[in-house]
Amino acid sequence: MDNRRPEYLVPALIAGAVAGVLSGIPFVNCLCCLWIIGGAALATHLLAKKTPGPLTAGDGAIVGALTGIVAATVDALMGIPLRPLNEAFLHRFMASLARVVDQLPAGWQDWVQRGTSTGFSLAGFFLGLFISAAIFAVLGVLGGVIGVSLFGRKKIYPPPPPATQGPANAAV
């Protein structure tokens, strides 16, 4: 029996990059964790196309976790140039919300200010990346196994039977 593992890395890199970009763009990221789950399912689809046999749930879990880690890295890297855009978006959104909703608690401006005014720090970046990678990997496992359920159950056809020898040969 073939005991080789499929090649997980390339599908995880492709799908992780797509999911990371989509989850990092302001407004587009309103789909929350679904980008990561969807990205992991996409990775499983790519893996299933490259793998001759059916995939197992474990295959989906591995490629999904890798996809999540790649997506977290891409998301974190995209966050550096997009940080001013994200802050401006948040301020504009909260200001417009405060005009129409009286439900916002008092002092929300201070809350937003505290959340966005902290400058960039390398330690903070790597801590955030580590936490994101752990969370995205878990979500990726989920998406990868769902992907196996959707794409990974290919029918394997048995090899053709060996050519039968004719009666003339058999008699020799």
Site residues (CB under 8 A) for other proteins?
Answer: 1-4, 23, 29-33, 36, 53-58, 60-62, 64, 72, 75, 93-94, 97, 101, 103-105, 108, 111, 114-115, 128, 131-132, 135-136, 138-139, 141-142, 144-146, 148-150, 152-153, 155-158
Least Cα distance to 138 among 39, 87, 69, 89 occurs for 69
Considering all CA atoms of the chain, what is the largest pairwise distance in Å, rounded to the nearest integer?
Answer: 99
Nearer to other proteins (CB atom), residue 126 or residue 165: 126
Nearer to other proteins (CB atom), residue 12 or residue 148: 148
C-alpha 15/C-alpha 54 separation (Å) is 20
- Report the C-alpha dihedral over residues 35, 36, 38, 41, rounded to 10 degrees: 170
Q: How many beta carbons lie within 10 A of that of residue 64, not counting itself?
A: 35
Shortest CB 5 distance to other proteins, Å:
8
- Residue 116 near residue 87, CB atoms below 8 Å: yes
Shortest CB 50 distance to other proteins, Å:
14
Least Cα distance to 68 among 25, 153, 130 occurs for 130
Shortest CB 163 distance to other proteins, Å:
21
Shortest CB 171 distance to other proteins, Å:
35
Nearer to other proteins (CB atom), residue 12 or residue 141: 141
